Chains A and B, each alone.
Chain A
Amino acid sequence: MSMLLSMQNLSKAFGGLEVVRELSFDVPERTATALIGPNGAGKTTVFNLISGVYPVTSGSIRFRGSDIVNLPSRYRIKRGIARSFQNIRLIPRLSVIDNLLIGQHVTLTRPFDVMRPFRLVRDHEWICAAKAELSAFGLGQYADEPVGLLPYGIRKRVDLIRATLSSPSVLMLDEPAAGLNASETRELHSHLDTLKERGVTLLVIEHDMQFIRSVCEKIVVLNFGCKIAEGSFDQVRTDEQVREAYLGAEQAA
């Protein structure tokens, strides 16, 4: 199994505060890897480092073998690293389709595309592509709704579809199931299964252990910015440190 993404001795400090410390782990291709840990462990920060929101303090991030720490953030999605956000960050006034068109941006090939008056063309391919993706996940009927009007669960999935429209090879999801009820979580689950079938590698932050167990093959556990455990769900669950810092006695049982 080749490693799509691999962190080596990654560190990040804000001022004097070291939030991620000498962190090394790999994300194997075509699998789902989970990043878990207590609140404030530095999980979101790791995502921010990978997607380039913050520069790293030291260490390297290798994507398909090449170091990307100096790659400007907006080129990373072009390489195939996409992400969703812990708090949904869509543009509430725009319609679902318009939001998706933004996600589609990196797939444009010709420089003139941005200036193409595509709305004058009935059923332009871009709109069709976005709609097709939407329908593929059963949300076709929301295409023209302003995002701000949609229920939370739907918005979360629109956010996800926006990220998938960039045809990423790795998709990073920050707490995708938070705030979803049981049935919405199930829908999310099948959504992710579809993506996995398509060959998308997933890196997931989530506190819902059931969800993690059923989605992810590999788990990395952080505490205070350090990796404290790594392995399959069952390996990790029984780890004493993980129980103590994260799961608590009851959950682990």
Chain B
Amino acid sequence: MSGYLTGLIVLLALNTIAAYGVYLPMAAGQLNLGIAGFMAIGAYASAYLTNMCGWPALAAIAAGGGTAAILAFVVAMPILRTQGIYLSLATFALGQVICAILLNLEVVGGAAGYPVSTHIEAFTVVAVTVVVVLLVCLMSTTRVPIYLAAVKNDPLVADLLGLNVKALGVAALTAGATIAGVGGALYAHYFNYVEAQYFGVMLSTYTVLYVLLGGTQSVWGPLVGAAIFTIVPEALRSSSQWRYAIFALFIILFMALRPQGLITRGLTRRRTQAAVQGGTTAS
């Protein structure tokens, strides 16, 4: 396969993984603006394990996800005391703090960044991504997504129906962070270099954009969103300097015309969304 295409597929895989990291918490109503922080944790932890402890890449990548998960689990309780926009901003602040700390952590290179000694091939990145996507798909056939929808929609009722709202929230945040951590670890091992500056707010923001563009109602939304985000700017490559402006305009118009995202439950079930929403407002 051509080098360009391979490279593009890797980018797509990385973007997709990050998108699923945002998608899971979002299904529970948490807009995580600090996902890049969890990616950074995964990246740095796995890099440290390969560099300093000589772990094999795959084990280190898994451990990267695990580290992000542990961190998420620890912070979840306090962070989930907040809701809605406050939660988003709390995750945003968390992401900033994580970055600022990593930037000053000299054991992992500080501001100079941290090289990673082991390289993984494009195939590995794609394979891990496929596994993650399949796992999320599998999860979508369990009770979890409807429970998350309940927690998102009406936490009080969810609680009165016996769901453990807090635990579901923690689980969603942690699962998202785990996926993001794995994504960060893949990034570190494919590019063999991590720097804290890369995992800034803008990365989190763009990842949220993928998900909303694709739509949050279906498991395929994040995949489609990530694909658009990877491919459209490439397609606009010929218009060179205009491409990011055009792309931003595209996002705005898209959101204005199709706020529910590209892939909707209605679409997957061959139902028109308008009817669903109409019914909702009629209540």
Contact = CB atoms under 8 A, between A and B. Distances in A.
Direct contact of A and B (CB under 8 A): yes
Interface of A: 51-53, 73-78, 83, 85, 88-89, 91-94, 98, 101-103, 105-106, 113-120, 146-150, 152, 155, 162, 166
Contacts of B159: 73-74
Q: Which bracket fits the contact residues of B?
A: 20 to 34
B138 interface: yes
B157 interface: yes
Contact of B156 (A53, A94, A162): A53
B163 A148 contact: no
A91 B144 CA distance: 15
Nearest to B271: A146
Interface of B: 138-144, 146-147, 149-150, 153-154, 156-165, 217, 265, 271, 275-280, 282-283
A164 B278 CA distance: 28
Contacts of B138: 117
B143 A149 contact: no
Contacts of B282: 148
Given A92-B280, A148-B279, A162-B161, 16 more contacts: A53-B156, A73-B160, A74-B163, A89-B157, A92-B279, A93-B149, A93-B265, A102-B161, A105-B162, A106-B162, A114-B143, A115-B143, A146-B276, A148-B280, A148-B282, A149-B279
B141 A51 contact: no
Nearest to A72: B159
A91 B162 contact: no
Contacts of A93: 149, 153, 217, 265, 276, 280
B201 to A, nearest CB: 30
Question: Which of A52, A75, A77 has the largest count of B CB atoms less than 10 A from its CB?
Answer: A77
22 contacts: A51-B160, A52-B160, A73-B159, A73-B160, A74-B164, A76-B160, A85-B157, A92-B283, A93-B217, A94-B146, A101-B143, A102-B150, A103-B161, A105-B163, A106-B161, A115-B139, A115-B142, A115-B143, A117-B141, A148-B276, A148-B282, A155-B283
Question: Which of A52, A88, A117 has the largest count of B CB atoms less than 10 A from its CB?
Answer: A117
A59 to B, nearest CB: 21
A-B residue pairs, 9 tightest by C-beta? A148-B279, A119-B141, A149-B279, A106-B162, A148-B280, A117-B141, A92-B280, A77-B162, A91-B153
Nearest to B158: A102
